[in-house]
Amino acid sequence: MTLAVENYRSLRQLVLPLTDLNIVTGANGSGKSSLYRALRLLADCSRNGVVAALAREGGLPATLWAGPERIGRSVREGVHPVQGTARKEPVALRLGFAMDDFGYAMDLGLPPPDRTTAFALDPEIKRESIWTGPVLRPATVLCDRIGAFVKIRDDDGSWSAPVPIQHYDSMLSEFADPQRAPEVLGLRNQIRSWRFYDHFRTDAGAPVRRTQVGTRTPVLSHDGADLAAVLQTIRENGHVRGLDAAIERAFTGSKLEVTRGENGVLTVKLRQHGLLRPLGVEELSDGTLRYLLWVAALLSPRPPSLLVLNEPETSLHADLLPALAELISEAATRTQVIAVSHASPLLEALATSAGVAGTELTTIELAKEFGETVVVGSDAFDGRAWKWPKR
Residue range 181-193: average pLDDT? 92
- The answer to whether residues 227 and 274 belong to one domain is yes
The answer on 245 and 146 residing in a single domain is: no
Q: Are residues 175 and 268 in the same domain?
A: no
Distance CA 336, CA 333 (A): 8
Q: What is the pLDDT of residue 77?
A: 58
pLDDT at 20: 95
Check residue 87 and give its pLDDT.
Answer: 64
Q: At what angle do helices 286-298 and 227-236 cross, to 10 degrees?
A: 50
Position 385 in a domain: no
Enter the DSSP assignment of 75: H
The answer to whether position 53 is within a domain reads: yes
Average pLDDT over residues 211-224: 94
The mean pLDDT of the chain is 91
On whether residue 341 sits in a domain, the answer given is no
Per-residue pLDDT for 24 more than 90? Answer: yes
Residue 146 lies in a domain: yes
Which of 253, 279, 302 is a domain's end point?
302
Question: 259 and 146 in one domain?
Answer: no
What is the model's pLDDT at position 86?
A: 62
Task: Please list the residues that pair with 97 across neighbouring strands.
Answer: 3, 104
What is the arithmetic mean of pLDDT over 107-111? Answer: 93
Choose the weakest-confidence range: 29-33, 66-70, 243-247, 282-286. Answer: 66-70
Give the count of domains, the chain. Answer: 2
Among residues 268, 302, 336, which one ends one of the domains? 302
**What average pLDDT does this structure show over 358-385?**
82
Label residue 381 by pLDDT band (50, 70, 90).
very low
Q: What is the pLDDT of residues 129-150, one digit of tens each?
A: 999 999 999 999 999 999 999 9
Interior/surface letters 164-190, b for 16+ CB within 10 angstroms, e for the rest? ebeebbbbbeebbeeeebebbbebbeb
Q: Residue 380: pLDDT band by 50, 70, 90 thresholds?
A: very low
- Shared domain check, 139 and 178: yes
330 domain-assigned:
no
Parent domain of 221:
201-302
Contact 327, 246 (CB under 8 A): yes
Tell me, what amino acid is at 78? G
Residue 208 falls inside a structural domain: yes
Q: 259 and 184 in one domain?
A: no
Same domain, 224 and 268: yes
Of the candidates 7, 14, 12, which has an alpha carbon nearest to the alpha carbon of residue 379? 14
Cβ(27)–Cβ(340) under 8 Å?
Answer: no
CB distance 21 to 328 below 8 Å:
yes
Predicted confidence band at 121 (pLDDT cuts at 50, 70, 90)? confident
Question: Do 25 and 146 fall within a single domain?
Answer: yes
Could you give the CA distance from residue 4 to residue 304 in angstroms, rounded to a whole number? 20
Please indicate, yes or no, whether residues 280 and 225 belong to a single structural domain of this protein.
yes
Q: Is 242 exposed, middle or buried (0-12, 13-18, 19+ CB in 10 A)?
A: middle
Q: Is residue 338 part of a domain?
A: no
One-letter identity of residue 34: S
What pLDDT does 68 receive? 80
pLDDT in tens, 52-93: 999 899 889 899 998 887 777 766 657 667 666 666 778 899
DSSP track, 101-167: SEEEEEEEEPPPP-TT-TTTTS-EEEEEEEEESSS--GGGEEEEEETTEEEEB-TTSPBPPPEE--T
For 228-258, the pLDDT digits (tens) are 999 999 999 988 999 999 999 999 999 999 9
Q: Does 116 lie in the same domain as 8? A: yes
Residue 159 resides in a domain: yes
Residue bearing the bigger pLDDT, 67 or 375: 375
> Which residues have C-beta within 8 Å of that of residue 211, sequence separation ≥ 6?
228, 261, 265, 266, 267
Asked if residue 284 and residue 237 are part of one domain, the reply reads: yes
Same domain, 88 and 205: no
CA angle at residue 195 from 194 to 196, to 5 degrees?
130
Cα separation of 96 and 343, whole Å? 28
